[in-house]
Chains A and B, each alone.
Chain A
């Protein structure tokens, strides 16, 4: 198919490389260097989508990031991506895209009926319509809104692409490679600064690619090309195209997203799709340029109405005509460049200029070329449904209030220019209080907040000469501050055409008796009458008007609509624009892929995985693992067809009967040394520590200052001034920080050092009635008798040539030992224990059996020490020293904490001795009570007691102390069950603790 709108000799595309692509299932051709938009326009396609609310036909409006219309669903690598701007998506072989927000097709869209029902879709439609009846919300309103919301559809699949993060530091970051960006980057780089230059588009040069100017003795385009190639050679310069700096954060941290493979047919296996750069810059030069703003007129959303600068860009960069019979509508000089470009390429346009009698070099040039110019003329309305066919035009009075006779004029596109809006987003994000500049009717950055300097048209400078002077100076000045070098470059001579002043005019009045829709915001279908209605209804703040009407929202964030919206509000309110103010500019400037934000931290890389030295043994022996903090721990060791319940029961029963071994490497371990270590522990733990002899361990509980239990564990005195503390797996890091806080900040006079040794030691807990016999065989030279190594005793020995620490401590409630060896000997230790334990019928046990053993013994753990309980609640009040002060002690005298009916840990068994009670169930007195049924407590942990062969749970129960023997109900609304239960002592097995001491 021929490309009817492609010119032969103009453009920067590669005509030697034809590229085929599909749009809405139909095959087309373009060239390498095209965007999807330019290729479609070259093929005469202007209808790309349907609008958000009214489903009106939508074409192309811009040629870059500001595009409000041309949002498509993209297909690539057998995957789909929503919300892709056709004006930014580069063409690649095999690209497929589809229109969104239309059904059954973009040509015939059922939803377009909304256009005729528009009386039902006024501003605040959602707020007004979906109010009542309440019962409609869930089944009717919400599904409707969900279906209507957004444009494309996200892929339901896992994103297989790679996204990378990179951290970079530089002296000067420059955002945008137009004339101002190139000049400042060049000046700064030549003065020795480390420079990063970021360009959002594939091509460097910005407006120099399309403007008819000369710098030095070459064209602007060639000057840009030469500067870029010189910069690329410099070792102190990083220069990136397809890279959008979208966010300006605190302390001069900026984030840039680089599209690495989006323009390629398929991502290389090891190449990321996008890369997110976190850049800490000493100085930032914002050279983001400006965006042309539209003039508002009737049906100004018709496909074929485009920004005049976009028409010029399609022509000069892509060699593409947006139309062959263009009408150009302007209030300033820049649109004349577009008219002249058309003329140069044999296309006659008609220029309507709202100004009465402007006079400038470029207007004279246009006149001399024979271009038809009508001053004091405006476009009243565009005609045509799926494409502009003609326009209603009229003369306008000097005060811009009265239209003359309206006449029809044939055209196939309308190029509109309402002057320029500086892109101040980054400056504003930095905290810069922007100010309104009445010379250009737009906001520009004010006083810098962070180290940011805005140059060029982003700062409201529209003459190239001034821009270069200012930008060369900024690059030199800011780099000098950092490098202390003084290599100042001469600013090149510029030839450009001087402009005359633009007209403040921005909105064409309605002719008598006509009620055209005049769009302010094209992406969200916000019209002039919507904003007028919002203000009539009492919305005053521009932030409220925005949210009520959706003006300036969605993926383009009002890049082309915000300022006209402000003009309208200030006109109606009879205020000046600066007192209305603009809405807040928040990052990101353009939409960023979620994948890019997440980077590589997905799946198993979302957090580190820690494995014990015995991990591979566990793996080899059918361990099923569970996440414990960031550790992987064996939950159970599967034998045959066992499930979790059967395996954990077997493992726990074997501990009670014979002997078991559990990997306890993950427990937090902290080495504590120093002459004041005993005093420190005495302050940190609630019980007494000064008299703990060397070679003994003690159980301790530590509180937060508010009296809540923070953690528990045993600490052993290894030698006079050396202790070994253990913490729970989950709290290890917090406890270390807690200890460091008190040692460094609160009691710096204490001479104590703490360091984490969690990873230095591998630990195995050997538990069960036969554990002593096993220990004796593992350590033949050690006296393992109860007299020589009693409960809570500690000794050191040698495990077949490997030094070992031996603690007689127990979490299972059985006679038990814990052996620690250096991590690299962990597996050796484990295999020895298993090998020698065989004759005692040893079995490894996982965390599930470990829980069972501790629950039926009534040992509290994380599910009871849940950050809401005090020592009494856990039955630990016996560990509170009355003789000394400790962290959190004063809080325990609080009225609520000394109440006699406080919650307390209890045991719970179902009356039928069969039904397991789900963890989290509530305990209530009467299951039939009117709701809300008062909750007396909750089930904190459940197991199947291997001792009694029935279910057993722990609960935190109000007035638990006096509830033993009571009958209650455990209800779980989630599982829709209620179980009659009996409250018993939490010490279900061996309440006197005889086994551990045996």
Chain B
């Protein structure tokens, strides 16, 4: 079970969080023309990287904030967590 540091509440067990997918995906702006391909990439296509990956989690049983978590998909090591508005490089 992972141990995730919520930037608002501190270190908590994974069972307080729910997983929210790839954190690097940016939703296309509203009312903007977009090709089928770009839209499909946004909706469906995700990379499955081996190693470092920035993903979203929501602290559903805590502060209910969505957060960013940089995790190693092989070892589960968590390098960094941040408020969802911040970028993780």
Who on chain B is nearest to A741 by CB?
B66
A633 located at the interface, meaning its Cβ lies under 8 Å from any Cβ of chain B in the complex? no
Say whether A251 contacts B27, CB under 8 Å: no
Say whether B2 contacts A706, CB under 8 Å: no
Who on chain B is nearest to A748 by CB?
B85
Min Cβ gap A735→B in Å is 13
Who on chain A is nearest to B32 by CB?
A885
B2 / chain A contacts, CB cutoff of 8 Å: 250-251
The one of A249, A683, A741, A748 that contacts B20, using a Cβ cutoff of 8 Å: A741
B1-27 contact mask (Cβ, 8 Å, vs A): 1 or 0: 111000000000100001010000001
**For chain A residues 743-764, which have a beta carbon within 8 Å of chain B?**
744-746, 748
B58 / chain A contacts, CB cutoff of 8 Å: 737, 740-741
Who on chain A is nearest to B42 by CB?
A705
A122 located at the interface, meaning its Cβ lies under 8 Å from any Cβ of chain B in the complex? no
Say whether B1 contacts A890, CB under 8 Å: no
The one of B31, B39, B66, B85 that contacts A740, using a Cβ cutoff of 8 Å: B66
CA distance A278 to B13 in the complex (A): 11
CA distance A745 to B56 in the complex (A): 9
Interface size of B by CB at 8 A reads 27
A698-721 contact mask (Cβ, 8 Å, vs B): 1 or 0: 000000011000000000000000
Dominant secondary structure at the B interface: loop
Min Cβ gap A893→B in Å is 8
A891 located at the interface, meaning its Cβ lies under 8 Å from any Cβ of chain B in the complex? yes
Say whether B75 contacts A431, CB under 8 Å: yes
Min Cβ gap A432→B in Å is 12
CA distance A746 to B84 in the complex (A): 9
CA distance A683 to B18 in the complex (A): 24
Question: Given A251-B1, A737-B18, A748-B85: A705 and B30 within 8 A (CB)?
Answer: no
B30-65 contact mask (Cβ, 8 Å, vs A): 1 or 0: 110010100100111000000000001010100011
CA distance A280 to B14 in the complex (A): 12
Question: Given A251-B1, A278-B1, A280-B13: A744 and B85 within 8 A (CB)?
Answer: yes
Say whether A253 contacts B3, CB under 8 Å: yes
B27 / chain A contacts, CB cutoff of 8 Å: 705, 746
Min Cβ gap B89→A in Å is 18
B34 / chain A contacts, CB cutoff of 8 Å: 890
Say whether A885 contacts B30, CB under 8 Å: yes
Who on chain A is nearest to B44 by CB?
A706
B56 / chain A contacts, CB cutoff of 8 Å: 741, 745
**For chain A residues 875-889, which have a beta carbon within 8 Å of chain B?**
884-885
A745 / chain B contacts, CB cutoff of 8 Å: 56, 66, 84-85
The one of B13, B28, B30, B44 that contacts A683, using a Cβ cutoff of 8 Å: B30
CA distance A249 to B18 in the complex (A): 19
The one of A449, A706, A884 that contacts B43, using a Cβ cutoff of 8 Å: A706
A705 / chain B contacts, CB cutoff of 8 Å: 27, 42-43
Question: Given A278-B1, A706-B44: A744 and B84 within 8 A (CB)?
Answer: yes
Question: Given A741-B20, A745-B56: A250 and B1 within 8 A (CB)?
Answer: yes
Say whether A737 contacts B60, CB under 8 Å: yes
Who on chain A is nearest to B21 by CB?
A741
CA distance A884 to B58 in the complex (A): 29
CA distance A280 to B42 in the complex (A): 38
Question: Given A250-B76, A744-B65: A891 and B39 within 8 A (CB)?
Answer: yes
**For chain A residues 835-885, which have a beta carbon within 8 Å of chain B?**
884-885
Residue among A249, A449, A737 with most chain B CB within 10 A: A737
CA distance A431 to B76 in the complex (A): 11
Contact-residue bracket for chain A: 20 to 34
Question: Given A249-B1, A250-B2: A744 and B43 within 8 A (CB)?
Answer: no
Min Cβ gap A786→B in Å is 38
CA distance A250 to B3 in the complex (A): 8
B60 / chain A contacts, CB cutoff of 8 Å: 737
CA distance A740 to B67 in the complex (A): 11
Who on chain A is nearest to B74 by CB?
A431
A666-683 contact mask (Cβ, 8 Å, vs B): 1 or 0: 000000000000000001
CA distance A748 to B87 in the complex (A): 14
A237-270 contact mask (Cβ, 8 Å, vs B): 1 or 0: 0000000000001111100000000000000000
CA distance A319 to B34 in the complex (A): 83
CA distance A356 to B58 in the complex (A): 67
CA distance A884 to B30 in the complex (A): 9
A449 / chain B contacts, CB cutoff of 8 Å: 75
CA distance A705 to B42 in the complex (A): 9
A683 / chain B contacts, CB cutoff of 8 Å: 30
B78 / chain A contacts, CB cutoff of 8 Å: 251
CA distance A929 to B56 in the complex (A): 50
B36 / chain A contacts, CB cutoff of 8 Å: 894
Min Cβ gap A526→B in Å is 33
Who on chain B is nearest to A884 by CB?
B31
A250 / chain B contacts, CB cutoff of 8 Å: 1-3, 76
A894 / chain B contacts, CB cutoff of 8 Å: 36
CA distance A748 to B1 in the complex (A): 30
The one of B3, B44, B66, B85 that contacts A280, using a Cβ cutoff of 8 Å: B3
CA distance A705 to B76 in the complex (A): 29
Min Cβ gap A906→B in Å is 29
CA distance A705 to B2 in the complex (A): 29
CA distance A253 to B13 in the complex (A): 10
Residue among A167, A278, A705, A745 with most chain B CB within 10 A: A745
Min Cβ gap A737→B in Å is 6
B69-86 contact mask (Cβ, 8 Å, vs A): 1 or 0: 000000110100000110
CA distance A253 to B18 in the complex (A): 18
CA distance A683 to B1 in the complex (A): 36
A251 / chain B contacts, CB cutoff of 8 Å: 1-3, 76, 78
B1 / chain A contacts, CB cutoff of 8 Å: 249-251, 253, 278
CA distance A993 to B88 in the complex (A): 53
The one of A167, A737, A884, A890 that contacts B39, using a Cβ cutoff of 8 Å: A890
B30 / chain A contacts, CB cutoff of 8 Å: 683, 885
Who on chain A is nearest to B78 by CB?
A251
Min Cβ gap A180→B in Å is 27
CA distance A705 to B22 in the complex (A): 15
CA distance A308 to B8 in the complex (A): 57
CA distance A883 to B64 in the complex (A): 33
**For chain A residues 278-299, which have a beta carbon within 8 Å of chain B?**
278, 280
A744 / chain B contacts, CB cutoff of 8 Å: 65-66, 84-85
CA distance A280 to B3 in the complex (A): 9
Min Cβ gap A9→B in Å is 50
Min Cβ gap A284→B in Å is 14
Min Cβ gap B29→A in Å is 9
CA distance A705 to B64 in the complex (A): 22
Min Cβ gap A685→B in Å is 14
CA distance A431 to B28 in the complex (A): 40
Min Cβ gap A588→B in Å is 15
CA distance A885 to B31 in the complex (A): 5
CA distance A280 to B11 in the complex (A): 12
B85 / chain A contacts, CB cutoff of 8 Å: 744-745, 748
CA distance A705 to B13 in the complex (A): 30
Min Cβ gap B61→A in Å is 11
CA distance A167 to B3 in the complex (A): 13
Who on chain A is nearest to B1 by CB?
A253
Who on chain A is nearest to B68 by CB?
A745
CA distance A301 to B13 in the complex (A): 47
Residue among B34, B78, B84 with most chain A CB within 10 A: B84
Q: List chain B positions with a Cβ less than 8 A from chain A.
A: 1-3, 13, 18, 20, 27-28, 30-31, 34, 36, 39, 42-44, 56, 58, 60, 64-66, 75-76, 78, 84-85
Q: Jot down 8 A-B pairs with beta carbons below 8 A, ordered by A.
A: A250-B2, A449-B75, A705-B42, A740-B64, A741-B56, A745-B85, A746-B27, A748-B85
- A-B pairs, 10 with minimum CB distance: A251-B3, A885-B30, A885-B31, A250-B76, A744-B66, A253-B1, A745-B84, A746-B27, A890-B39, A706-B43
Q: Could you list 9 further interchain pairs (A-B, Cβ under 8 angstroms) beyond the known A705-B43, A741-B58, A744-B85?
A: A249-B1, A250-B2, A253-B3, A449-B75, A683-B30, A706-B43, A740-B64, A740-B65, A748-B85
